[in-house]
Amino acid sequence: MIADLLYHQIQSPLGVLTLAGTDKALIYLRFAEYDTPFKVPNSWQRDAKRFEHEEAQLQSYFAGELDVFDIAIDLQGSHYNMKVWKELTHIPFGEVITYGELARRVGTPEGAQAVGNANGKNPIPIIVPCHRVIAAKNNIGGFTGGVDKKQFLLKLEKAKNVQFDLF
């Protein structure tokens, strides 16, 4: 976790979202866990004005009015994670691919589990759309924010070829 960032918390259909970054780029988007907001580090400074653009775009997305984000992001992670996260940004709104397909796209065809691990470490979900990656046989698969949140996002995007049965 990076110290000395700016942050803002917003209400969303998924609960409280915490946005954090520098004055130039978004570095984190965090979900509430079990309805408990993300615990903001003491070194972060609240700045609602800084995140007006991101908040407006997210609200438009949740209202079904936006399908491509125009937000400056600063992804930070291992070389492999960065490769996976960059590939996630190429999955169009409303479409899904499998973990196996994502592994193939990043050059590790046998690496479905590795891309799943990278997906789970995505620091900017929704905007870097890790929710658009599903398990084999069109099962929804897991999601760090909770399968219910992944299901909500895929239904919002009217994703096809996904089995939404959670049980």
58: CB partners within 8 A, 6+ apart: 10, 12, 17, 126
Q: How far is the C-alpha of 29 from the C-alpha of 78, rounded, in Å?
A: 18
Q: How far is the C-alpha of 160 from the C-alpha of 155, rounded, in Å?
A: 9
Question: What is the dihedral sign for C-alpha 118, 148, 97, 26?
Answer: negative
Q: How far is the C-alpha of 63 from the C-alpha of 130, rounded, in Å?
A: 20
Which residues are catalytically annotated? 130
